[in-house]
C-alpha cells in the first residue's frame, strides 16, 4: 500500500478504526502462515490394536499394515484409526513386508511367501522359501524387503539365520548367521534391524547391522539400538525415522524412534 493510501485510510476511518483493520489483517496473515506451516500429527508412541492373533507388519509410506486373523489392516500411526482391510487367504500367516507395489506375506504352515497386489488384493505370485543346508530351520520369524531382495529370518537355535532370497527365481542368494534369536526383521538398502529375544526375564532388544559382502564384517558391524520392553514380541518394520514392533500379549504396536546415526 502506498503512503498516500495509508494517509487516506486514516483520514476516512479515523486512527482507531485503521488500527483495528491493521490488526485484523495481521492476525489473518498469522493464521494463514500457521496453517501453511502446520505439520501432520506425529506418530503415537504406541497404538492399541484389535484383539486377535497378531503376526507382522509393513509400511507403505503412509499407513502401518498389521497382519492378523488372516487379514491385513491398514492403520493411521498417529491415531491407530483403521483405514483399510485386505483379506489374506493363508493357512498360517506369519509376517508381511511391502516392496512399493506388492505385499509379501509368509505362510508359516507351507513355508511359502505370496505376493499380493496392494491395489486389488489379488495374489500374483507364490514362491517357496529356500532353507540353507548348513544352518537348518525350525521356524520362520520374519521377512523384509531391501529394495531388490527379500530377507527371511529363520530361527534354528544357535544356527538362526538371515537369508537373502531372489523373488524372481525363488533361489537363495546368501545366508548369514543372525547371532541372536530373531522375532522380527526390517531393512533398507544398506542395513538390517533385528528384534531379538533374550533368555530369562531379559527384555528383547533391537540391533542394527550393515549389509556387507563379508559375513564376519557384517556381524562386526552389529550395534545396539534399543530395548523392546514387551512380553510377546512380533514383527519389525522401519517407517521413516522410526521402527515399529508388535506385542501380542497386550495387542499393541510400539514405536522406537531412531537417533540420527541409526537413520543413515
C-alpha cell at 94: 506369519
Quickly state the pLDDT bin for 90 (edges 50, 70, 90).
confident
141/23: higher pLDDT: 141
Asked whether residue 118 falls in the same domain as residue 20, the answer is no
Q: Which domain holds residue 220?
A: 46-263
Q: Please write the tens of the pLDDT for every residue from 38-59.
A: 454 555 699 998 767 788 999 9
Counts of helices then strands in the chain (DSSP H, E): 4, 20
Please give the Cα distance from 207 to 223 (Å, whole number).
6
Quickly state the pLDDT bin for 95 (edges 50, 70, 90).
very high
Asked whether residue 32 falls in the same domain as residue 52, the answer is no
Asked whether residue 63 falls in the same domain as residue 94, the answer is yes
Q: Report the 3 state secondary structure along 208-238.
A: EEECCCCHHHHHHCCEEEEECCCCCEEEEEE
- List residues bridging with 127 in a β-sheet: 113
Our count of domains for the chain comes to 2
Q: Please write the tens of the pLDDT for every residue from 201-246.
A: 899 999 999 999 999 999 999 999 999 989 999 999 999 999 999 9
Task: Identify the sign of the CA torsion 222, 225, 229, 233.
Answer: negative
Q: Are 174 and 157 in contact (CB under 8 A)?
A: no
Q: Are 71 and 84 in contact (CB under 8 A)?
A: no
End-to-end C-alpha distance for the chain, whole angstroms: 49
Asked whether residue 113 falls in the same domain as residue 14, the answer is no
Find where cell 523392546 sits.
228
C-alpha cell at 235: 514383527
Please give the Cα distance from 65 to 76 (Å, whole number).
9
Asked whether residue 33 falls in the same domain as residue 104, the answer is no
Asked whether residue 76 falls in the same domain as residue 17, the answer is no
Q: φ and ψ at 22, to 5 degrees?
A: -60, -40
**pLDDT value, residue 155:** 94
Asked whether residue 148 falls in the same domain as residue 251, the answer is yes
**pLDDT value, residue 29:** 41
Asked whether residue 59 falls in the same domain as residue 108, the answer is yes
Q: Please write the tens of the pLDDT for every residue from 183-203.
A: 999 999 899 999 999 988 899
Find where cell 504396536 sits.
253
- List residues bridging with 234 in a β-sheet: 246
Distance of alpha carbon 35 from the chain centroid:
29
What's the pTM? 0.81
Asked whether residue 91 falls in the same domain as residue 172, the answer is yes
Q: In the predicted model, is pLDDT for residue 158 greater than 70?
A: yes
Amino acid at each position: 500500500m502506498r503512503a498516500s493510501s495509508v494517509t487516506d485510510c486514516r483520514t476516512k476511518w479515523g486512527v482507531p478504526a485503521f488500527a483495528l483493520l491493521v490488526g485484523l489483517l495481521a492476525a489473518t496473515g498469522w493464521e494463514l502462515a500457521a496453517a501453511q506451516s502446520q505439520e501432520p500429527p506425529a506418530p503415537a508412541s504406541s497404538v492399541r490394536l484389535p484383539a486377535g492373533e497378531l503376526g507382522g507388519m509393513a509400511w507403505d509410506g503412509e499407513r502401518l499394515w498389521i497382519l492378523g486373523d488372516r487379514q491385513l489392516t491398514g492403520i493411521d500411526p498417529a491415531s491407530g484409526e483403521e483405514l483399510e482391510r485386505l483379506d489374506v487367504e493363508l493357512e498360517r500367516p506369519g509376517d508381511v513386508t511391502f516392496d512399493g507395489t506388492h505385499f509379501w506375506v509368509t505362510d508359516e504352515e507351507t513355508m511359502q511367501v505370496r505376493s499380493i497386489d496392494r491395489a486389488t488384493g489379488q495374489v500374483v505370485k507364490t514362491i517357496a522359501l529356500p532353507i540353507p543346508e548348513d544352518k537348518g530351520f525350525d521356524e520362520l520369524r520374519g521377512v523384509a524387503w531391501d529394495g531388490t531382495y527379500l530377507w527371511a529370518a529363520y530361527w534354528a537355535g544357535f544356527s538362526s539365520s538371515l537369508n537373502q532370497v531372489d523373488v524372481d527365481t525363488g533361489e537363495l542368494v546368501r545366508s548369514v548367521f543372525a547371532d541372536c534369536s530373531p522375532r522380527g526383521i526390517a531393512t533398507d538398502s544398506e542395513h538390517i534391524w533385528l528384534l531379538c529375544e533374550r533368555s530369562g526375564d531379559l527384555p528383547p532388544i533391537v540391533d542394527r547391522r550393515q549389509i556387507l559382502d563379508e559375513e564376519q564384517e557384517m556381524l562386526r558391524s552389529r550395534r545396539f539400538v534399543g530395548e523392546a520392553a514387551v512380553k510377546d514380541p512380533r514383527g519389525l518394520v522401519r517407517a521413516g525415522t522410526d521402527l515399529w514392533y508388535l506385542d501380542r500379549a497386550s495387542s499393541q504396536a510400539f514405536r522406537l524412534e531412531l537417533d540420527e546415526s541409526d537413520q543413515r
